[in-house]
Structure 1
Amino acid sequence: MLRYVTTNAGKVREAEEYLDDGSVTQLDFDYTEIQAPTLEPIAARGAREAYRHAGAPVLVDDAGLFVDRLDGFPGPYSAYVEETVGVERVGQLARRGDDPARAAFRCVLAYCDGDPFDASPDPIDRGDRAAAAAVGTDEGDDATDLPVKLFEGVVRGRIVEPRGSGGFGYDPIFEHEGTTFAEMGSTGKNAVSHRGRALAKFTEWYAGR
């Protein structure tokens, strides 16, 4: 059984659209979210910690909105910026008036089951000693040598005036092919979302694991 580490049941439902029925379950585990300029080390560190907690295969994701004009901000800090600055203010900063800004939603899935991985086009994070040192872990080499497989999903779009009442987070200001994520139904959004694209890559690989 694969444990999807999240407090958001919607993410598990989205994963179930790609994985076989009954093969994934939700794990509510508060892993350490390190500070990093990219998503990969955050997800990888969380997957290692979650695997040590669960003792079973785990999947952890980290995602963010990357605005070209703002040099990728808010990126890995998207959730914090949403809570403190607010979605509409981020949109105003990005647009600079009526001029839309190019942006991308990115998601990185991190998978860990305690075993090594064969080489493939998808990257493998083989150790997070720097991250472990940053949070002061003293769990030894076994804690930082667990290999983690990473899968990225990206969807390009632009930042616009808020539209739509669905979705959550930055969905009202992120437009993809003329429609904001908040204007899409869940099925339509999942079909093009960054998380869905990462899940598609993961499930294709996981089928042969």
Structure 2
Amino acid sequence: MIRFVTGNEGKVREAREYLNDDVRQIDYDYTEVQSDDLAEIALHGAREAFEETGGEEPIVVDDAGLFIDAVGGFPGPYSAYVEDTLGVERVWQLAEREENRRAHFRCVVAYYDGENAETFSGAVPGTLVAPRGDGGFGYDPIFEHEGKTLAEMSTEEKNAISHRGRALAKFADWLAEQ
């Protein structure tokens, strides 16, 4: 059994697609260190959650962000903060002025079991566009991948190409070898 530290049930459902039903959700508010490195943030959270929840079963924590090429990868690890303070529309307004609107979502899944600390990353490339679509959350309305924004995709379409899914697939492969 793996404990996935998140308050987001959608993330847990996606994890179960890759890890079968061996995933249990833990809603624990770990300290999020300030870093430009998603792996450092996720691994710190996994270690802290492992210790604080009794250290009996492995822990998985993920961290993700939107990285915009034209502005040096901003907002990156600070994506949630930027969304909360500026909002998706203002991020689009920033990107709209740029000739290069390429971006990517990146996710790092961190695993910790008291002895082993491993990270697995996944990314999905795209382009920032004017907001479209009614689905998804966060930056999904302004992130286009192969002609559709993530907000225009069904959950199944989005999960099939997601950055988190790509990281979880690598993690599942590693776990199967253990």
Tell me which interval the TM-score lies in, with the shorter structure as reference length. over 0.9
- The match for 2:154 is 185
2:177 counterpart SS class? coil
Where does residue 37 of structure 1 map in the other structure? 36
d(CA) in 2 for partners of 1:68, 1:20? 35
Offset at residue 95 of structure 1 (A): 2.0
Task: Map 1:26-65 onto structure 2 (within 5 A).
Answer: 26-54=25-53, 55=55, 56-65=57-66
Alpha-carbon distance between aligned partners in 1 of 2:20 and 2:148, rounded to the nearest angstrom: 30
Deviation at 1:114, TM superposition (A): 1.1
Name the TM-score, length of structure 2 as normaliser. Answer: 0.96
Partners of 2:165 and 2:66 in 1: how far apart?
15
Which position in structure 2 is the counterpart of 1:87?
A: 88
Shift of 1:100: 5.9
CA contact (8 A) 1:2 1:24 kept: yes
Matched residues in 2 for 1:167 and 1:206: separation?
Answer: 29
Question: Which residue pairs with 1:128 in the alignment?
Answer: none
Identity %: 64
- 1:106 equivalenced with 2:106 (yes/no): yes
Q: Which of 194, 197, 203 is equivalent to 2:172? A: 203
Greater Rg, structure 1 or structure 2? 1
Equivalent residues of 1:100, 1:159 under 8 A apart: no
Q: Partner letter of residue 102 of structure 1?
A: R
Q: Do the aligned residues in 2 keep the contact of 1:67 with 1:101 (CA within 8 Å)?
A: yes
Matches within 5 A, 1:53-202: 53-54=52-53, 55=55, 56-96=57-97, 99=99, 101-116=101-116, 148-202=117-171
1:19 is matched with 19
**1:182, distance to aligned residue in structure 2 (A):** 0.2
How far off its partner does 1:188 sit? 0.3
The alpha-carbon deviation at position 208 of structure 1 amounts to 2.2
Q: Partners of 1:44 and 1:16 in 2: how far apart?
A: 20
Once the two structures are superposed, what CA deviation does each residue of 1:49-87 show, in whole Å capped at 9, x if it has no partner?
011122120000000000000100000000000000000
Specify the SS of the correspondent of 1:7: coil
Name the SS for the 2:134 alignment partner: coil
TM-score, normalising length: structure 1: 0.82
Q: Kindly provide the CA deviation profile for residues 126-182 of structure 1, in whole angstroms up to 9, marking residues without a partner as x.
A: xxxxxxxxxxxxxxxxxxxxxx20000000001000000000000000000111000
- Hey, which bits of structure 1, 4+ residues long, moved more than 6 A? none
**Is contact 1:100-1:160 (8 Å) kept?**
no
Amino acid corresponding to residue 93 of structure 1 in structure 2: L
Query: What's the offset of the Cα at 1:33?
Result: 0.2
